[in-house]
Chains A and B, each alone.
Chain A
Amino acid sequence: MKKGWKFLIEYQSLIWIVVAWELVVFLQIMPERLFPSLSKVLVVAFELITTGMLLENLPITLFRVFAGFALAAVVGVPLGLLMSRSKLLNDLVQPIFSLGFPIPRVALYPILVFILGLGSASKITMIFLECLFPIVLNTYYGSTRVGKLYLWAAQNMGANRSQVFWRVLLPATMPSIFTGLKIALPMAFIIAILTEMIGATAGMGYLLTYMSASLMQEKVLACVVLITLVGYLLNLLIQKIQRKYVFWQ
């Protein structure tokens, strides 16, 4: 009983929002067409799952998210590590990242569509570009901050270059790499939805715009609920992986 009460107190803000929402519906302050009750939204969301609409579109979006994210990780982590080791590479690449960091890179998307078409290729490229920045920058700063003492100690004990890299530098940089990945994955999902809303023939973003064309708010809200759920689960996934591989943090 006491535990339940504590739970209520802790989550009271959400409960207030739900109550206020239902009150607006109940008192018909807004027309129901525009402001459907939450129970109705959940029913529609469930229908989207059972009728297979979700299963048609979600895998496509997830494929784009993970393809772009994986590419960015495969390119970004070694690049960041190499930048911290080689001065020449750092001099060449660092200006690009410093200049590109504050720029809204999604604005390039319409041009990418011209080059790569409306399919997955342009979206994966966009996700790749967007994820590359946090991954490279975090890896780079993380590995430049690895304590010199560790490296000296390893060298003293006769470790060769590759041993220093694999046994000392990489594990010591791991937490920063994960900071980058943790920023990048939600970003990948957001960019996937965004680019699919700009133009696509499949995917969660497409489903959303398709539903909004019907002007049925409960369908649109149901889509938003499902997208929120997926975003939340993706967040959970990367946290789980982090806890497994960077357990000492």
Chain B
Amino acid sequence: MDKRLQKIAAIEIVVLLAIWQALASLEWIPAYLSSPYVVGSEMWALIVSGELFTNAASSLYRSLVSFLLVMVLGIVLGIAAGFFKPVGIFFQPIVDVLNPVPKIALLPILMVWFGISDTTRILLIFLTAFFPCFIATKDGVHGVKQVFVWAAENMGASKFQILWKVILPASLPKIFDGLRVSLGLTFVMMFSSEMIGSSNGLGLGFMILLADMAGRTDLMFVSVFFIALLGFLFDRILLAVRARLLWWSENRG
């Protein structure tokens, strides 16, 4: 997004909030739709009491641990599957069968095995976010020009050197495409795994669930806004890391 579009986006958000506020002040929309002023002051109260941060922290812990696992396992296994043909063939049927499953359906099963715990949630988030990263990495390795590998071999590089110095950097643009999808999914599943199942502990999804039970839509808006903010922020961070690592690549997202 260039500067001009950013300006337009800012104007649009302000106009939308103004319309929302106006409709709420004139009482043209039902009271449960709250108003920006009420949501804002509620958010401020939660920030001051620190409640928002403790909830956000435990949500973030779940999604970031899973994302770390996805990054490590997805990239390592993806490169192995792309580079060594037998490994690729071994994993292909698992990917074909498991990838289209809505992983959220596994939540009740995992809940019985591991309890309503962080293990369950982290595992579920990991299972969802793993496949985009794995598939993108594997595609990226397949897309590396054979000439590069031959050149490295010619100059006496070992297998490990080829993987580390040629294959990994050359497939990084694709890997980042996959990671971006995975990151988005971790936040979706973070919210879903907290929403479904009983409500105990901390987390932004729980905040929504509790607010829902109490009929406090203003609190729901606060948590939704915070989840959106976190999703947006971490996407930006990933894009910044990508721009730094891939300064040589043409398409920097």
A41 to B12 CA separation, bound complex (whole angstroms) = 52
User: A27 interface residue, CB < 8 Å from B?
Assistant: no
List A contacts of B169 (CB < 8 A): none
User: Is the Cβ of A231 less than 8 Å from the Cβ of B8?
Assistant: no
| A residues 204-240 touching B (CB-CB < 8 Å) | 205, 208-209, 211-212, 215, 217, 220-221, 223-224, 227-228, 231-232, 234-235
Q: Among the interface residues B184, B188, B217, which one has the most CB atoms of the partner chain A within 10 A?
A: B188
Q: Which one of B8, B100, B101, B212 lies within 8 Å of A95 (CB-CB)?
A: B8
User: Is the Cβ of B231 less than 8 Å from the Cβ of A104?
Assistant: yes
User: Is the Cβ of B102 less than 8 Å from the Cβ of A91?
Assistant: no
List B contacts of A198 (CB < 8 A): 192, 195-196
Told that A114-B217, A197-B105, A232-B100 touch, could you supply 11 new A-B pairs with CB distance under 8 A? A10-B93, A13-B90, A14-B93, A14-B97, A34-B112, A91-B4, A91-B8, A96-B12, A99-B9, A104-B228, A205-B105
A42 to B108 CA separation, bound complex (whole angstroms) = 18
User: Is the Cβ of B106 less than 8 Å from the Cβ of A224?
Assistant: yes
> Which 10 residue pairs of A and B lie closest in terms of their CB atoms, listed nearest first?
A102-B235, A212-B108, A95-B9, A190-B102, A104-B187, A231-B100, A103-B228, A107-B227, A193-B102, A104-B188
Q: Please list 23 pairs of residues, one from A and one from B, whose beta carbons are closer than 8 Å in the complex, sorted by A's number.
A: A9-B89, A13-B94, A30-B113, A34-B113, A91-B4, A94-B1, A95-B1, A96-B9, A102-B180, A103-B231, A104-B227, A107-B223, A110-B195, A110-B209, A113-B212, A193-B104, A193-B105, A198-B195, A217-B112, A227-B101, A231-B101, A234-B100, A235-B100
A215 to B93 CA separation, bound complex (whole angstroms) = 30
A10 to B90 CA separation, bound complex (whole angstroms) = 7
Q: Among the interface residues A104, A115, A209, A221, which one has the most CB atoms of the partner chain B within 10 A?
A: A104
Q: Smallest CB-CB separation from A212: which chain B residue?
A: B108
| B residues 80-117 touching A (CB-CB < 8 Å) | 89-94, 97, 100-102, 104-109, 111-113
Q: How far is the CB of B209 from chain A (nearest CB, A)?
A: 8
User: Is the Cβ of A228 less than 8 Å from the Cβ of B5?
Assistant: no
| B residues 233-247 touching A (CB-CB < 8 Å) | 234-236
Mark contacts of A68-99 with chain B using CB atoms, 8 A cut-off: 1 yes-contact digit, 0 otherwise: 00000000000000000000000110111011
A103 to B221 CA separation, bound complex (whole angstroms) = 14
User: Is the Cβ of B224 less than 8 Å from the Cβ of A91?
Assistant: no
Mark contacts of A17-32 with chain B using CB atoms, 8 A cut-off: 1 yes-contact digit, 0 otherwise: 1000000000000100
A106 to B190 CA separation, bound complex (whole angstroms) = 11
User: A171 interface residue, CB < 8 Å from B?
Assistant: no
User: Is the Cβ of B102 less than 8 Å from the Cβ of A12?
Assistant: no
User: B75 interface residue, CB < 8 Å from A?
Assistant: no
A residues contacting B by CB (< 8 A) are 9-14, 17, 30, 34-35, 91-92, 94-96, 98-99, 101-104, 106-108, 110-111, 113-115, 186, 189-190, 193-194, 197-198, 205, 208-209, 211-212, 215, 217, 220-221, 223-224, 227-228, 231-232, 234-235
User: Is the Cβ of A231 less than 8 Å from the Cβ of B94?
Assistant: no
B residues contacting A by CB (< 8 A) are 1, 4-6, 8-9, 12, 32-33, 89-94, 97, 100-102, 104-109, 111-113, 180, 183-184, 187-188, 190-192, 195-196, 208-209, 212, 217, 220-221, 223-224, 227-228, 231-232, 234-236
* A104-B231, A197-B196, A228-B100 known; A98 vs B93 contact (CB < 8 Å): no
The B interface, classified by DSSP as helix, strand, loop or mixed, is helix
A221 to B109 CA separation, bound complex (whole angstroms) = 7
User: Is the Cβ of B5 less than 8 Å from the Cβ of A13?
Assistant: no
* A106-B191, A227-B102, A228-B101 known; A17 vs B112 contact (CB < 8 Å): no
* A13-B93, A95-B8, A212-B108 known; A231 vs B191 contact (CB < 8 Å): no
List B contacts of A98 (CB < 8 A): 1, 5, 9
List B contacts of A193 (CB < 8 A): 102, 104-105
User: Is the Cβ of A110 less than 8 Å from the Cβ of B208?
Assistant: yes
